[in-house]
Amino acid sequence: MSEKLIIKGLNPANGEVTISGAKNSVLKLMAASLLAGDKCIIHNVPELTDVEIMLEVINGLGAKTSYDKKSKKVEIDSKNLTNCIAKKEYVSKMRASFVVLGALVGRLKEAKVALPGGCKIGERRVNFHIKGLEALGCECKIDDGYVIAKTSKLIGNTVCFDIPSVGATENVMMASILAEGVTVIQNAAQEPEIVDLANFLKSMGAKIDGAGTSQITITGVRQSELRGCEYTTIPDRIEAGTYMSIIIASKGHGIIRNIFPNHLTLFTGKLLEMGANIKLIDPNTMEVSNDKRLKAMNFITQPYPGFPTDLQALAMALLCCADGISVVTESLYENRFMHIQELWKMGANIIVNKKHAIIKGVDCLVGTQVESTDLRAGAALVTAAVMARGETEIGALNHIDRGYENFVEKLRGLNIDATRVTDTSL
């Protein structure tokens, strides 16, 4: 049965929320565990449908897994990894699972991985992934919806990406761990999740320098030098940004715990520019509040450390009721404005011109029936709903479930009037 989320707007937030482990990090750590040939234990794993899909992918490769949801712990034993095929039925559901490609090539020297799926936010080609693996000595081809990569031996090389790609950086990092010699990734992605992956791999015995900068250097090691490890995932910066937005939208006050503030520096700066109040209580706890109408501002989404594309829709929702005219430019994904058609239903004044959205703030949004078009669009609609007069019904919650753990419970912990119900109209 389909479900929907009902939000009653204009109720100021008042409470606390604790941020879960980073979805965009833990999925990559799970894939990287395949390189160890031993048992890896990962802590701070959020209870998400994406995590369940990644476990299915890994189980299908012959590894043994267990997931203790109460303690947020995943164990992966890849000693008997034998299968190199990641099937369409799993990989097509979630793009992040495509990073098993690099781990399988590194460990087994061959892989057959289905082309990735996930949110339909735009074209996300795999050519950078293939280019990187070919530079390490792989023969790659695409056949019947699969990327097939084979090699007799991986040799370190210099890989230079035309633009920073998170997934391609991760795949090349994982493949090069067991390559002979030194691999240098130039114009590498710099996201905190890249640093987390590098730290996890180093805990296994890998030799990596420069993660978090535009040049990453990997010195290959032998399989016998890798070992299992125990590791704790970083907090989810996008989830933190989501609850910051919701608190501010509600004109309320909230405490956000378990965060790394330096992962949100630019986003926090933009919220302050809009007139929100944000301060650190301690190194991992933030106090967020707002008691007035926000001010318009402009931003362009860019690779980290620029404005995160994953927070673009949430910031746009805030700007729908801000004083003045804002311009939002989406430079990364051509279909990441799908939420605008839903915001229109709520009374937003937005004009779209190719990759630009021009937002003129209105007095108040109005609750109505809307649909999540992708993961972050769903969160943006919740942000809009808390600013709206009346009730907003948000459908297609499967998108939200991919990236937000205990979402309704956390909203209620912030005094947001949120109820999840079965949609009997379908």
Residue 364 burial (C-beta neighbours within 10 Å; 0-12, 13-18, 19+): middle
Query: Which is more confident, 126 or 125?
Result: 126
Task: Copy the structure tokens of residue 44.
Answer: 């701070």
335-387 pLDDT tens trace = 789 999 999 999 999 999 999 999 999 999 999 999 999 989 999 999 999 99
Task: Copy the structure tokens of residue 121.
Answer: 């936010």
Residue 124: what pLDDT? 45
Contact 329, 355 (CB under 8 A): yes
Cβ atoms within 10 A of the Cβ of 84, count? 21
Q: HSE-up of 278 (CA within 13 Å, CB side)?
A: 24
Residue 126: what pLDDT? 87
Residues 6 or more apart in contact with residue 382 via CB below 8 angstroms: 5, 7, 246, 394, 400, 411, 418
**Separate counts of helices (H) and strands (E) for the chain:** 14, 26
- Cα–Cα distance between 314 and 30 in angstroms, integer? 28
Domains observed in the chain? 3-20+235-422 (3.65.10.10), 23-232 (3.65.10.10)
pLDDT category at 426 given cuts 50, 70, 90 is: low
Q: Residue 383 corresponds to which amino acid?
A: T
Phi-psi region of 243 (alpha: psi -120 to 50; beta: other; left: phi over 0): alpha
Residue 334: what pLDDT? 74
Residue 172 host element (H or E): helix 166-176
Which string of b and e fits 41-69 if b means at least 16 CB within 10 Å? bbebbbebebbebbbbbbebbebebebee
Residue 88: what pLDDT? 84
Query: Which is more confident, 335 or 397?
Result: 397
Best CA proximity match to 399, nearest among 50, 21, 88, 56: 50
Instruction: Report helix, strand or coil for 354.
Output: coil
Best CA proximity match to 370, nearest among 2, 8, 4: 4
Task: Copy the structure tokens of residue 378.
Answer: 């769903």
Residues 6 or more apart in contact with residue 409 via CB below 8 angstroms: none
Beta strands in 84-156 (DSSP E): 85-86, 110-114, 139-143, 146-150
pLDDT averaged over every residue in the chain? 94
Task: Copy the structure tokens of residue 302.
Answer: 């860019």
Q: What is the mean pLDDT of residues 111-123?
A: 65
Is 119 one of the annotated active-site residues of the chain?
yes
Contact 315, 294 (CB under 8 A): no
Contact 165, 92 (CB under 8 A): no
Contact 130, 147 (CB under 8 A): yes
pTM of the model: 0.95
- Give me the catalytic one of 84, 119, 138, 320: 119
- Cα–Cα distance between 265 and 223 in angstroms, integer? 38
Residue 3 host element (H or E): strand 3-8
Residue count of the chain: 426
pLDDT at position 121 over 60: no
Q: What is the mean pLDDT of residues 64-70?
A: 97
Bridge-based pairing state of the strands 299-300 and 325-329: parallel
Alpha helices in 61-117 (DSSP H): 88-91, 100-108
171-203 pLDDT tens trace = 999 999 999 999 999 999 999 999 999 999 999
- Cα–Cα distance between 50 and 405 in angstroms, integer? 11
Contact 31, 99 (CB under 8 A): yes
